[in-house]
Amino acid sequence: MKIAVFPGSFDPVTRGHESIVRRSLPLFDKIVVAIGVNADKSGYFPLEKRMEWLKQAFHDLPQVSVESYNGLTVDFCKKTGADYIIRGLRTSADFEFERSVAQVNLKLVPEIETVFLLTLPEYVMVTSSIVREVHRHGGNIDQFIPEQISI
Ligand code: ADP
């Protein structure tokens, strides 16, 4: 069984994230969307809310589950039985950062491969940090978040 983990902060989940998960479906039998919990950084939205929105966003997909984890992503993958990590690439800056992370992860656990999907052009500017900024100042974020959720 091909299991992949899609790790991130999902603070909050966006249409960009949703698109990556839906486009990954044909590649894997099971996708675990996993919120990495960072002890030093609590996030803008509470963890429980971020989990709830992810569950609602992928409610129609039985092969997608939502979890959270502490510690290294590769350790969570081992625990989950996942051999793949999914990441999305928007810009060349994303690429430079993601390359280092993926190469370090390969050093730590050579059996776990990171698979990158390029963002659809319409979602290049959809970042959680911009969505948070619009939300913080009272703007409408509906067009950036999955249709199935309301924040
Ligand atoms: P992190 O803090 O780990 O980057 P994010 O929640 O911001 O967590 O992102 C999780 C993953 O989703 C990353 O691989 C990121 O590149 C990808 N991603 C974020 N926004 C988009 C988008 N608009 N299109 C495609 N991938 C995206």
Type of residue at 130: I
Return the CATH number at 108.
3.40.50.620
Residue 118: inside a domain, yes or no? Answer: yes
Is it the case that residue 88 has pLDDT exceeding 90?
A: yes
Q: Could you read off the pLDDT of 91-120 as tens digits, one per residue? A: 999 999 999 999 999 999 999 999 999 999
For ligand 1, the distance from its centroid to the CA atom of residue 8, given in whole angstroms, is 6
Q: How far apart, in whole angstroms, are the C-alpha atoms of residue 28 and residue 41?
A: 31
* Residue 112 forms part of a structural domain: yes
Residues 68 and 138: their CA atoms lie apart, in Å, by 28
Confidence category of residue 38, pLDDT binned at 50, 70, 90? confident
Is 135 within the bounds of a domain? yes
Closest ligand 1 atom, residue 89 Cα: 16
The type of residue at 36 is: G
Looking at the predicted structure, is the pLDDT value of residue 121 above 80? yes
End-to-end, the C-alpha distance of the chain in Å comes to: 35
87 in any annotated domain: yes
Specify if 42 maps to a domain.
yes
Alpha-carbon span 4 to 10, nearest angstrom: 17
With contact defined as beta carbons under 8 Å apart, do 46 and 60 qualify?
no
Annotated active-site residue in 15, 50, 87, 90: 90
| Domain-located, residue 90 | yes
What does pLDDT average to over the chain?
97
Percent of the chain with pLDDT over 90: 96
Q: What is the mean pLDDT of residues 21-41?
A: 94
Q: How many domains does the chain have?
A: 1
Report if residue 150 sits inside a domain: no
Given the residues 9, 15, 17, 50, select the one marked as catalytic.
17
Q: Is 2 a catalytic residue?
A: no
Q: Give 39-56 pLDDT, tens digit per residue.
A: 777 899 999 999 999 999
In a domain, 151, yes or no: no
Domain containing 95: what range?
A: 3-144
**Encoded tokens for 132:** 């948070």
Q: How far apart are CA 105 and CA 88, in angstroms?
A: 16
For the segment 51-80, what is each residue's pLDDT rounded down to a tens digit? 999 999 999 999 999 999 999 999 999 999
pLDDT tens figures, 1-27: 999 999 999 999 999 999 999 999 999
Q: Is 78 a catalytic residue?
A: no
Give CA–CA dist 109/89, Å, rounded. Answer: 22
pLDDT of residue 4: 98
